[in-house]
Structure 1
Amino acid sequence: MNRIAHFEMQVANTEQTVEFYRNIFGWKIEKHGDLGYWLITTDEEGTGITGGILPSPDGQARVINTIEVDNVDEYLVKITANGGETIYPKMPIPGRGYVAYCQGPEKLIFGIFQRDENAK
């Protein structure tokens, strides 16, 4: 069974959102890279779901769940065969794996993620 491994909050004001969730839930939220992405750790042990906060490309707030899979390429075929579509193709996350973004027939956006520490 595939589990939700990561969530992303796309928002208009990242700094305000970071402070809100830090203050309410005590999450560890750290800036990651230079593109305005904030990485969220939701538990001290690091075994819980992780997340991210990033600027929304269209100013609309949304949450995107990313589901862990064994093979992104195989799941992209399954998604298309079942009426979904790829909206952002497979890309590497260096040292972590590969991710692609899709939507189902109802237009709900979700990600799929394959772990691969050799991804470059």
Structure 2
Amino acid sequence: MGRPVHFEILGDDPAKLAEFYSNVLDWEFQSWSGSEEYQQEYWLATTGPEEQVGINGAIMKRHFPQPVINTTLVDSLDETLAKVTASGGKLVFGPNEIPYVGTHAYCEDPQGNLFGVIEEPKT
């Protein structure tokens, strides 16, 4: 069974996208220059502590159309959606309750990338 182990968000200005996702989802970023053959602007993303389930990823320069939408678990969907709009993004769909899964919404970052956010069901 294949399991996602890394994601990449594509944008025209990776540094500004790193700032956006840091503001909205509290991710931490570190610039990485890559290898000699693979030189480009690339920001490694730490999305949470190692002991927490999840994956880390990166933001890089856009080279092709976006083929994937990543969804991130958040503590408060309302607070996260407020951060999205305050940081220059927008809500594009939802929020919608998915029975037994949580409340989900799709957002767009300031450079046109779609991403999902989901809050676990309240017990």
TM-score, normalised on structure 1? Answer: 0.47
Structure with bigger strand share is: 1
